[in-house]
Structure 1
Amino acid sequence: MTVTVGMITCDTTDALALATWWAEQTGGIITEENEGWYVMVALPTGLVLGFQKVDDPTPGKNRLHLDVVTDDLAAEVERLRAAGAGVVAERGDDSFRWVTMTDPAGNEFCVAPRH
């Protein structure tokens, strides 16, 4: 027997706002909104992101994060910054580069070129 990943869920103090931000950035759509306490976003890839309202999210660096890919790393980083993301660090070397960023709630994610 095995399991299948059904959804990746993120704790946040404002589930609807963060779900809306991620839906806008990924081309996803909000498929369920339970009075703002749990919001689901279906991504074009078929993956589902969940955003769960909590009073006090776990502080510190998240141990699990999203990696998103793009055809133009520099342009996508600038687009995400304009939409409210922060830049933590540019990483990698000449063979592979990526940028670690934060969403508006401070959750880290990485943006890398599609390969």
Structure 2
Amino acid sequence: MNASRITLGSINVEAEEPGALATFWATVTGGTPAANGDSVYLPPVGPGGFAMFFQPLAGPRPDRLTIHLDLTVPWGARQGEVDRLVAGGATWQWDVLDEHPHVRWTTLADPEGNLFCVAEHPPTP
């Protein structure tokens, strides 16, 4: 079987305020947002980065999100990144620090309430 040729092109987000939400996520990723009408594109930063595309809400916001981003940082860097993101507008939700031996994470919400996690995995021996 051949390896998949599928790659992540962009994470698309509907937002009440696409420009403001793109600005928040630019602080997360380090990217520079580029507006085009009512939409904003946030390009990937570096070879391991990911792009995001923000557009106006097309309907009412769902009561419950069924998908969220898990962002990974180096071991020992999670709390510093969480502090940086909260200072930039994220809202702390909860920590999971000892439930699983292979990962610990903090769940945050962006300024529009979309959940995302910042996780760290211990180094492998």
What TM-score range do you get, normalising by the shorter chain? 0.7 to 0.9
**Secondary structure in 2 matching 1:76:** helix
**Secondary structure in 2 matching 1:106:** coil
Query: 2:105–2:119: 8 Å Cα contact kept in structure 1?
Result: yes
**Secondary structure in 2 matching 1:29:** coil
Are 1:113 and 2:114 an aligned pair?
no
Question: In 2, Cα distance between the equivalents of 1:90 and 1:46?
Answer: 24
Question: In 2, Cα distance between the equivalents of 1:24 and 1:10?
Answer: 16
Are the structure 2 counterparts of residues 23 and 7 from structure 1 closer, same or farther at C-alpha, using a change threshold of 3 Å?
Answer: same
Q: Shift of the alpha carbon at 1:55?
A: 6.0
- Which structure has more strand as a fraction of its residues? 1
Query: 1:101–1:110: 8 Å Cα contact kept in structure 2?
Result: yes
Partner in structure 1 of residue 110 of structure 2: 103
State the TM-score, normalizing by the size of structure 1. 0.84
Partner in structure 2 of residue 87 of structure 1: 92
Partner in structure 2 of residue 41 of structure 1: 42
**Secondary structure in 2 matching 1:84:** coil
**Aligned Cα root-mean-square deviation (Å):** 2.1
Partner in structure 2 of residue 14 of structure 1: 17
Q: Shift of the alpha carbon at 1:41?
A: 0.4
Q: Which runs of 5+ in 1 are unaligned?
A: none
Q: Which has the larger radius of gyration?
A: 2
State the TM-score, normalizing by the size of structure 2. 0.78
Query: 1:86–1:103: 8 Å Cα contact kept in structure 2?
Result: yes
Question: In 1, Cα distance between the equivalents of 2:108 and 2:79?
Answer: 13
Q: Shift of the alpha carbon at 1:43?
A: 2.1
